[in-house]
Structure 1
Amino acid sequence: MKLTYSVFALFILLVSCDGKEKPEELLSEDKMVEILVDIHLAEGFVQSLSIPYDSTKVLYPILEKQIFEKHGIADTVYINSLEHYLLDASKMEYLYERTIDSLTLREKIAR
């Protein structure tokens, strides 16, 4: 959870420094939700491991890189898209509702 809060604090800080221009390569809402689901699954996986915190700080970026490769995007495209969506709180809330719904569905299917 600390990692999630740290990531969002960083993005909020970045967003507050930027203008409201739409990035050249903006991920669609559907793609953004897919990536957010994968990121949260990776975070959960890393947190479930019985390894020291400093080891998780090494492992998570590797998994994050694999997520971006899986989706065929650069990390900067994700970051810029996230910053854009964070400018609209209702849009970001909607994206996270969809993310949570997707994670809940996956959990139900796994059971």
Structure 2
Amino acid sequence: MVKKVFLLAVAFLLFSCEKEEEIPADILSEEKMVETLIEVRILEGQVVNLTLPLDSAETLYGILEAELFQELDVDSIAYMKSYEYYMTHPAKFERIAEIVIDSLKVRQQKY
């Protein structure tokens, strides 16, 4: 069910009627950014739920985030650059954020 909703959202994103500018080659695609942001938000929630002291939580998060980026085959610098790019393109960022939020809601309802 979660995969179907995610795929439907990605398909909607791909076949949007709007004609937009090309995303630069060094920027993560919208689809990859959605996937990455979903996993980053889940990781953030997991670390917060551990109720560790702030310095320990930040250290643990840094380690787990590096592992996550490696699993997703995403360079942390490319992620930050892509995040900044999408923040300066509000329509694109809003689309991405809506898909991330909807996907997280579906996952939350599942559990």
- TM range, normalised to the smaller chain? 0.7 to 0.9
Following TM superposition, the consecutive aligned residue runs of length 4 or more in structure 1 with deviations greater than 3 angstroms are none
Equivalent residues, number: 89
Deviation string 1:51-70 (CA, Å, 9 cap, x unpaired) is: 11111110111111111111
Three-state SS of the structure 1 residue aligned to 2:27 is coil
State the Cα deviation string for residues 26-72 of structure 1 (Å, max 9, x = none): 21111101100111011111111121111111011111111111111
Amino acid across the alignment from 2:63: I
CA contact (8 A) 1:23 1:80 kept: no
Q: What are the equivalent positions in structure 2 for 1:51-90 lying under 5 Å apart?
A: 51-90=52-91
- Consecutive unaligned residues of structure 2, counting only runs of 5 or more, are 1-22
Unaligned runs of 5+ in 1: 1-21
- Identity among equivalent positions (%) equals 38
TM-score for both structures, normalised by structure 1 = 0.74
Q: CA RMSD in A?
A: 1.3
Q: Deviations over 1:86-107 (max 9, x none)?
A: 1111211111111001101111
Q: Tell me the secondary structure at the aligned position of residue 67 of structure 1.
A: helix
Correspondence for 1:7: none
The whole-number CA distance in structure 2 between the counterparts of 1:59 and 1:38 is 16
Structure of greater Rg: 2
